[in-house]
Amino acid sequence: MLNPDTCRLKIGGEAGEDLLIQGMLDTNAETHKAKVLFQQIRDVIRMRGTKIKNVLVMPGALKKLEAGWRLAPGPNFRPEFDLTL
3-class DSSP assignment, residue 42: helix
Question: Domains of the chain: which residue ranges?
Answer: 8-74
Residue 1 has pLDDT above 70, yes or no: no
The pLDDT of residue 29 is 85
Strands (E), 22-65: 24-26, 50-52, 55-57
Confidence of residue 76 (pLDDT cuts 50, 70, 90): very high
Instruction: Give the span between the Cα atoms of 62 and 69, in whole angstroms.
Output: 9
| Run of H or E including 8 | strand 8-10
pLDDT tens column, 13-71: 999 899 999 999 999 888 999 999 999 999 999 999 999 999 999 999 999 999 999 99
Residue 2 has pLDDT above 90, yes or no: no
Phi, psi (rounded to 5 degrees) for 70: -85, 145
